[in-house]
């Protein structure tokens, strides 16, 4: 792939690594490539990071034909940097593309684009403990047309943002709230795709959960409102009878890369794992019977987010002793050690930058 490079004249000052937060600071450059029906992807380029002009009629602004990904670059103690399963992100981007009638991109081209951009932006990868460079690839429908159809033109971009440690105050459990009314996605819909609509659909119930004093919504399935699907924008796990259980992928759940990594790593370590349909009633029954040991969310942002309270209707249960359990903590540390290159990479997930 030919990538035209247009460098920034005056590089920006780098932020204070102690106060990075999430998603507000962007690096000097971004990757851009356009798609035109009949031509394919073209004009791959790296340009200075900055705003670009679009028509108010641009299709993505009206009908949400857009997809995105999220992954991180981790700096090792020796100063080198690495990615965690990046091809899985671009493969998922293509599955999302398929669901949204967006043209797919060659995964090797995506990797080349990312490596070329990271080569230029290496200096932006933070090194304070737990900090990373967040990578946000995305595609938007670009045609200036307000009729509803699939856009014949698209734009693919990769932007980079140095982000702070997710747990600056320690690995603390969160309280979650089961929405009795709202669903995130339905089978046959877009739940398995990483697309704007699912996140827009999650905002209202999340506000209710937060007003009730909970951090995240525990989403149930959209048909029977009975089976557990995801928590916030993470996959969910329970430890019941020493088995690590997560809902099976059913078309409305996003196939998280951390979810897959938890399953594979736990299995590799000889732990019992299962992907199966699990109802919220079973979770509460397991708790009543003293069999619910742990609950946690999994995702790129937090890696593992332990859950200590679950509210469903007028009942609230405390999971385990209310602290982060040994399985959640163990998997969190083991995954972080692989991601930051502090340990071996037993399942070949690491790609050096």
Q: Is 209 helix (H, G, I), strand (E, B) or coil?
A: helix
Return the number of the residue (151 or 202) whose C-beta is nearest ligand PMP.
202
The residue from 103, 222, 256, 325 that contacts ligand PMP (CB under 6 A) is 256
Site string for ligand PMP, 25-64 (x = CB under 6 A): ----------------------------------------
Of residues 28 and 260, the one with the C-beta less far from ligand PMP: 260
Residue 222 touching ligand PMP (CB under 6 A): no
Q: Which of 175, 182, 259, 287 binds ligand PMP (CB under 6 A)?
A: 259
CA pair distance 84, 152, nearest whole angstrom: 33
Q: Where are the beta strands (DSSP E) in the chain?
A: 4-5, 29-36, 40-48, 66-68, 71-75, 81-84, 132-141, 153-163, 174-178, 216-220, 228-231, 234-240, 243-246, 272-275, 292-299, 303-312, 315-318, 350-352
Q: Which stretch binds ligand PMP (CB under 6 A): 30-38, 101-109, 207-215, 250-258?
A: 250-258
What 3-state DSSP class applies to 94? helix
Tell me the window of 11-19, 55-63, 164-172, 256-264 that interacts with ligand PMP (CB under 6 A).
256-264
> Applying CB under 6 A, which of residues 173, 222, 247, 299 lies at the interface with ligand PMP?
299
Exposed, middle or buried by CB within 10 Å (0-12, 13-18, 19+), for 229? Answer: buried
The span of 24-32, 37-45, 57-65, 229-237 binding ligand PMP (CB under 6 A) equals 229-237
Least separation in angstroms between CB 10 and ligand PMP: 34
- Bridge partners (DSSP) of residue 34 are 42, 155
Cβ neighbours for 45, distance < 8 A, ≥ 6 positions apart: 3, 4, 5, 6, 31, 32, 33
Q: Identify the residue among 66, 153, 252, 300 touching ligand PMP (CB under 6 A).
A: 300
CA atoms of 73 and 71, how far apart (whole Å): 7
State which of residues 82, 116, 195, 258 lies at the interface with ligand PMP (CB under 6 A): 258
Among 100, 234, 263, 292, binds ligand PMP (CB under 6 A): 234
Query: Which residue, 230 or 294, is less far from ligand PMP as judged by CB?
Result: 230
CA angle 249, 253, 254 (to 5 degrees): 100
Return d(Cα 199, Cα 190) in angstroms, integer. 11
- Segment near ligand PMP (CB under 6 A); pick from 10-18, 54-62, 122-130, 296-304: 296-304
- Residues in the interface with ligand PMP (CB under 6 A) total 13
Examine residue 86 and tell whether it contacts ligand PMP (CB under 6 A).
no
Binding site for ligand PMP (CB under 6 A): 70, 230, 233-235, 254, 256-259, 298-300
């Amino acid at each position: 792939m030919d990538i035209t490079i247009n460098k920034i004249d005056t590089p920006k000052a780098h932020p204070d690594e102690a106060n990075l937060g999430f998603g507000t600071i962007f690096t000097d450059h971004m990757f851009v490539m356009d798609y035109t029906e009949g031509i394919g992807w073209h004009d791959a380029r790296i340009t200075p990071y900055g705003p670009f002009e679009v028509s108010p009629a641009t299709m993505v602004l009206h009908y949400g034909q857009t997809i995105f990904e999220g992954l991180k670059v981790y700096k090792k103690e020796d100063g080198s940097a690495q990615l965690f399963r990046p091809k899985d992100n671009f493969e998922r981007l293509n599955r999302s593309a398929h669901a949204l009638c967006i043209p797919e991109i060659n995964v090797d081209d995506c990797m080349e684009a990312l490596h070329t951009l990271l080569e230029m932006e290496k200096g932006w990868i933070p090194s304070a403990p737990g900090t990373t460079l967040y990578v946000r690839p995305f595609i938007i429908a670009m045609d200036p047309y307000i009729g509803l159809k699939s856009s014949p033109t698209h734009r693919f971009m990769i932007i980079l943002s140095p982000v702070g440690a997710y747990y600056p105050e320690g690995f603390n459990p969160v309280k979650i709230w089961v929405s009795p009314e709202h669903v995130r996605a339905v089978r046959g819909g877009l739940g398995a795709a990483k697309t704007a609509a699912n996140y827009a659909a999650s905002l209202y119930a999340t506000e209710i959960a937060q007003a009730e004093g909970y951090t995240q919504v525990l989403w149930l399935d959209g048909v029977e409102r009975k089976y557990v699907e995801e928590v916030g924008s993470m996959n969910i796990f329970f430890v019941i009878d020493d088995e690590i259980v997560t809902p099976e992928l059913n078309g409305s759940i996003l196939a998280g890369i951390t979810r897959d990594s938890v399953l594979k790593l736990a299995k590799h370590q000889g732990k019992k794992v299962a992907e199966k349909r699990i109802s919220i009633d079973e979770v509460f029954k397991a708790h009543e019977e003293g069999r619910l040991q742990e609950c946690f969310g999994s995702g790129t942002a937090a890696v593992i987010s332990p859950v200590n309270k679950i509210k469903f209707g007028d009942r609230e249960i405390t999971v385990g002793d209310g602290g982060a359990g040994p399985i959640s903590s163990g998997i969190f540390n083991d995954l972080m050690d692989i991601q930051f290159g502090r340990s071996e990479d037993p399942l070949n997930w690491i790609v050096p930058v």
